[in-house]
Amino acid sequence: MAKRRIGILTSGGDCPGLNATIRGVAKGCYNLIGEDKVEIVGIQDGYHGLIHNECRIMKSSDFSGILTQGGTILGTRRTPYKLMQVVEDDKIDKVAEMKATYKQQKLDCLLTLGGNGTHKTANLLSEEGLNVIGLPKTIDNDIWGTDVTFGFHTAVDIGTEVIDRIHTTATSHSRIMVIEIMGNKAGWLTLYSGVAGGADIILIPEIPYDIEKVAKAVEKRANSGKTFSIIAVAEGAMSVEEAKLKKKERNRLRAEAGETTATNRIAKQIQSMTGYETRTVVPGHILRGGSPSAYDRVLATKFGAKAANLIMQEKYGYTVAKIGSEISENKLSDVTMKTKFVPADDKVVLTAKDIGVSFGD
């Protein structure tokens, strides 16, 4: 009997938990199907490797010692979904080449670890007739249909630590500290890091801010004897005025002003409006680097084992999900083209407001 050949790739931005998930898949397949009945094919650098047939047979030893390791042993690269069906100057038909690689490698299924863009391409390949299973990865936690993605909790821990450390500088120098947290479309990471880190003001894309209300929140703290304020800002936060514009117009105006995100502008406006010394902090890629937290190691292992179960059942066209306390799955077609945004009445938002955190609205 021929071995079942399973291809695995990691696509998009790196984040803690990718290796832990790869390990969970491999160990799950070896245990449930049989190590002598499974062959795992590692695909290098995401969909780029699938397009260019950059693959290698993995040994069981390749999956040892990677539970705690950050990044991805398979490498990753961003290959935008919007270009997947576009033949560019290199004359490569990406979809045709991915299907050819799948066939040449004699794969029985393909596992794709990634975020929204990765899932869109996974669904495209599923619709093209390939056996595909998705695994939801992103520090943004914005994949529809799952309560949490692996990588999110680790990033929250790191974001919280950043805010904790900035507190000491803010109090020592009596400054307003504006901390930019990753999250261009969804504010989950900023919201959770802000609440856990004790931010006084939290600004996220889903709740457009009024800069005058932000300044008043700072002044209110100062008038009550608080000599500093911590403002957690999602990189995609926008003002009430910006929210009325289309994305292209908003980006054009920011580019003309030399700004890619709202953080620097907010800091300048607050200092101008209040007179208080204001500084910005941008932890950037630090938020998605390093070893996964204990929570993410457990979640990644659960997700990997679930994917192995789906492979064993030959249940393809799905992506793994955590819904409540259960590890479940969603159809790839149901997940794509949707984004999980922070609702204005989210329990964490309401809790933050109950304790006096301002969202600038």
**Residue 5 forms beta bridges with which residues?**
39
Instruction: Please name which of 148, 103, 143, 107 lies closest in space to residue 123, comparing C-alpha atoms.
Output: 143
Count the alpha carbons within 13 Å of 176 in the hemisphere toward its beta carbon: 29
Q: Whole-angstrom Cα distance, residue 332 to residue 336?
A: 6
Q: Say whether 254 sits in a helix, a strand or coil.
A: helix
Cβ–Cβ under 8 Å, residues 163 and 198: yes
Q: How far apart are CA 253 and CA 265, in angstroms?
A: 12
SS3 for 232?
strand
Buried b (16+ CB within 10 A) or exposed e, 259-276: eebbbbbbbebbbebbeb
Catalytic: which of 45, 108, 140, 200? 140
Say how far apart CA 137 and CA 113 lie, in whole Å. Answer: 6
Query: Helix 18-29 and helix 294-313: axis angle, to 10°?
Result: 40
The alpha carbon of residue 57 and the mean position of all alpha carbons in its chain are separated, in whole angstroms, by 28
C-alpha–C-alpha distance, residues 348 and 344, integer Å: 10
Identify whether the C-beta of residue 332 lies closer than 8 Å to the C-beta of residue 317: yes
The answer to whether the beta carbons of residues 315 and 131 sit under 8 Å apart is no
The radius of gyration of the chain from alpha carbons, rounded to an integer in Å, stands at: 22
Sheet containing strand 229-234, edge to edge, reads: 201-203, 229-234, 176-181, 278-281
Return the structure tokens found at 73. Answer: 């042993």
Phi-psi category of 317—alpha, beta or left, where left has phi over 0 and alpha has psi -120 to 50?
A: left
What is the H or E stretch that residue 109 is in?
A: strand 109-114
User: Residue 354 catalytic?
Assistant: no
Just list the catalytic residues.
140
